Structure 1
Amino acid sequence: MVTPLSPLHETIHKQTAKEMIRDKIVSLIASGILQVGDELPSERELATMLVVSRETVRGAVQRLAAEGIVQVSQGARTRVASVNVEVGAQRIGVTNPTSINGYSLEAVHAARLLVETEVVADATKHLSDDDIQRLEDSIAAQQLACNDPVRFLICDREFHLTIYYACQNRLLADFVVDLYTYMLDHRRIAMGQPGAIEKSLEDHRFIVRALKMRNPDAVSAAFSEHILRIHDTSLAVDERGGSTVTRALPRSVTDSNKESA
């Protein structure tokens, strides 16, 4: 049996499951994770990533095809046909989902360290057991996407948003989601660098471990290191998608986890 959609996801309006999945795919396009010509993951893969049935995914894709956003061809993968999409009106940066890109990397990085770590600390207190299981299932899906930056980022977005929207302050959660969308087109390039996905996956495992401990301080520490890694990889990718330079990050959360084990 497919686990029902979490009420902690983006929408605050009553929607059918197909409408929610349609909106999720649109958000992936608006944020730059999916671009014109990109193949969508298969129905089975999307169903696993988004924790819904294949029938729900199929209905969402059919609706997107009718809107001209994706192209469905018999015997071939569905592809993104247009990035001229409108995102629902529940987010702060809804008028232009990429407007966050107008700020400097350092400004966004500082905001994430200040706000996101507080949001996830609060979320730690409110994530349900089902949400924790969803995050563990996401880790398994991310493992399968280690050779595909686009598929990994689809999983990555669901992973992060599940945590953010467990925060009891909806305004702060929406703000953090906008910060998360910063330079996702560059993140596609960065995730294509050798070892980048594996390092993010390692960070996610530490985050889930801290969440299972219900330890807000450990979760904040794990996210701080993850945000630092994102900052470094974003900084290293220039506007032409050049090579990246990485630096080792301290694993302070490792020590915290070992001490609490």
Structure 2
Amino acid sequence: MAIMTDQTQPIAATQLIGDLPRRTVRDLVAEKIATLISSGVLAPGDELPGERELAASLSVSRETVRGAIGILAGHGILRVTHGARTAVASADTGAFAAGRTVPAIGMHNDLSSVYEARLLIERYLARRAANLVDAALLNELQGSLDAQRACGGDAVRFLLCDRDFHSLIYQAGGNEILSDTAMILYNHLLEFRRRIVSSPGAIQQSIAEHTAIVDALGQRDADAVERAVTAHTNRIHETTRAFLKAKMT
């Protein structure tokens, strides 16, 4: 599993059809930021966390973050102003939106059906990850937990960490197609998660559940990992359902 430490270090892209270009860590960071914009977590005019905070959340250098911001600014997606926070200039992320290999899940899809599919795939990948886990993965997951704890109440920073945390487990399952599909399902209604995780105690609850998943992975206990993933995904489903119900009333 590749570790993002250098903005010029090539990382293999997910290759489902033909030979796709290899991407650098800087490219992947740009994609992650673009995903928050394309999914509606960040809207035009919203400010990004500072370079230091983004670097800590994504476990990369500030230089890498600066390079990723430069890429997105060059495409008119971000606006960089001296003496001010970088802000979203456009929601048109084009080719930078993650998950291009799998059709997006639309708003018309039934929430319960989406989460049922997500849970089915996450359980399978988590059990495989428990059998394939190594010290490198556990170190990355512990680093992610540390980054999550450092977020405080910053929902955007936490969602960046959260996405990386789930992506690490999906990838550890060893099936690229299912990993990509799980990420598409994860992104469903992500625009509402910013407000949901902003509620008191929500970030801390997610961190506690993530910790339980990592502890079970560390024990290589597939049953315990599946239970922890199920509890976490079910809570995300319930909080999203409750938020949408309240929004409609």
TM range (shorter): 0.7 to 0.9
Alignment-mate amino acid for residue 68 of structure 1: G
**Alignment of structure 1 residues 104-253 onto 2, 5 Å:** 104-238=110-244, 241=247
Contact between 1:124 and 1:214, CA under 8 Å: does it hold in 2? yes
Contact between 2:209 and 2:228, CA under 8 Å: does it hold in 1? yes
**Equivalence for 2:29:** 21
User: Given the superposition, is the C-alpha separation of residues 242 and 195 from structure 1 closer, same or farther in structure 2, using an over 3 Å criterion?
Assistant: farther
Contact between 2:121 and 2:182, CA under 8 Å: does it hold in 1? yes
In the alignment of these two chains, the number of paired residues is 238
Contact between 2:55 and 2:65, CA under 8 Å: does it hold in 1? yes
**Equivalence for 2:62:** 54
Contact between 1:26 and 1:85, CA under 8 Å: does it hold in 2? yes
Distance (whole Å) between structure 2 residues aligned to residue 17 and residue 218 of structure 1:
33
Contact between 2:155 and 2:194, CA under 8 Å: does it hold in 1? yes
Structure 1 residue 127 displacement after superposition: 3.4
2:53 pairs with one of 45, 48, 52: 45
Contact between 2:10 and 2:25, CA under 8 Å: does it hold in 1? no
Distance (whole Å) between structure 1 residues aligned to residue 47 and residue 136 of structure 2:
30
Alignment-mate amino acid for residue 176 of structure 1: A
User: Given the superposition, is the C-alpha separation of residues 88 and 157 from structure 1 closer, same or farther in structure 2, using an over 3 Å criterion?
Assistant: closer
In structure 2, the gaps of 5 or more residues are: 16-20
1:92 pairs with one of 74, 92, 102: 102
Alignment-mate amino acid for residue 78 of structure 1: T
Alignment-mate amino acid for residue 82 of structure 1: S
**Alignment of structure 1 residues 64-75 onto 2, 5 Å:** 64-75=72-83
Structure 1 residue 239 displacement after superposition: 6.8
Structure 1 residue 219 displacement after superposition: 0.9
In structure 1, the gaps of 5 or more residues are: 244-261
